Amino acid sequence: MTLAGPYGARVRRTLTPYALIAPTVLLLVGFLLVPLGSVGYYALQHRVVNEPYDDAFVGLDNFSRMLGDQQFWHSLLFSAKWVAAEVGLQLLLGLVLALIVNETFVGRAAARALVFSPWAVSGVLTTGIWLLLYNPATGVFHQLSEFGLADPATSVLGDPDTVFPAVVVAELWRGVPFFAILILADLQSVPKDLYEAASIDGAGRVRSFLHVTLPHLRDAIVLATLLRAVWEFNNVDLLYTLTNGGPAGATTGLPLYVAQLARKSYDFGYGSALTAAAFVLLLFCSVLYLRLSRFEGRGEGVQR
């Protein structure tokens, strides 16, 4: 049956937009809403794969268990410290590198390629590189020990006092290019007239940076730090392959703790509750951060 005439044309015009977005909606439902609903459902269940006889609805018991779980609080504290260190240092170093490669000098194209190249390296390959560098038998500390600059028995990944800065440095190598790329792209859109006007008013490089460059970069920095904070909070691949959460749980973040529960204990009910708590925490922090930063979208921050 086909619709003809003015009425049919009007119906087709009305339904066509919905038909066009239907595939996207179905994908969102299948890959976003269904997993979220599944996590919410299992968070209210006692669900241990190797104890199917004990499966039952437990309501909020998994969340009550969370409050007394010391490993949960330890992993949450580590995740907060990890995000603060990584995002802060990546932003600072990315900004510095972007300002450098934005200048005109001989070999700028090669310098940009060198700065951006770590972003193209996968997390597992990054781990392999840094495992070789940190290897106490053949790595950089072994080489330095030959000149008397380090202890030949140094194992930075096996010492609770040095493992955190060691994994931070490894992730910095991979994460700094993200900020450098975004900030460089925004730097190239700063109107030259603003710098000329600032120069006429007697502003030097520092004042031009503070009053022209930074206000223009504001929205890009807010968005980049938010995205990177979420990604770093959910970082599993590098920490898992570098230290597996060790030594003695010193580098176990919340996502890695959830993965260990699923892999070792098969406790999907409690793991789902932890995942739901992490989702709510990230959502709350993201909304709060956007409200406090008064993020309004590209271009409006320059006008304020």
Task: Give me the domains of the chain, ranges plus CATH numbers.
Answer: 69-303 (1.10.3720.10)
Full pLDDT tens readout for the chain, 304 residues: 455 566 667 777 888 888 889 999 899 888 888 888 888 999 999 888 888 778 888 889 999 999 999 999 999 999 999 999 999 999 999 999 999 998 888 888 899 989 888 888 887 888 889 998 888 888 887 677 777 666 766 688 888 888 999 999 999 999 999 999 999 999 888 888 888 888 887 878 888 888 888 888 988 899 899 999 999 999 888 898 899 888 888 999 999 999 888 888 888 899 999 999 999 999 999 999 988 887 765 444 433 3
- Specify the 3-state DSSP secondary structure of 46: strand
Cα separation values, 249 from 63, 199, 224, Å: 22, 54, 29
Cis upstream peptide for 247 (omega within 30°)? yes
Contact in structure between 274 and 265 (CB atoms under 8 Å): no
Angle value at C-alpha 237, between 255 and 222, nearest 5 degrees: 70
Give the list of residues 6+ apart from residue 37 with CB closer than 8 angstroms, or none.
Answer: none
How far is 145 from 154, CA to CA, in rounded Å? 9
Task: Specify the pTM.
Answer: 0.85
How far apart, in Å, are the Cα atoms of 21 and each of 25, 73, 157?
6, 42, 49
Give the type of residue at 160: P
* Alpha-carbon gap, residue 56 to 70, rounded angstroms: 25
What's the CA gap between 4 and 274, in Å, rounded?
55
What is the C-alpha separation between 39 and 262, in angstroms, rounded? 13
Six-digit token pair at 227? 């995205």
> Residue 212 carries which DSSP code?
I
- In contact, 142 and 203? CB cutoff 8 Å: no
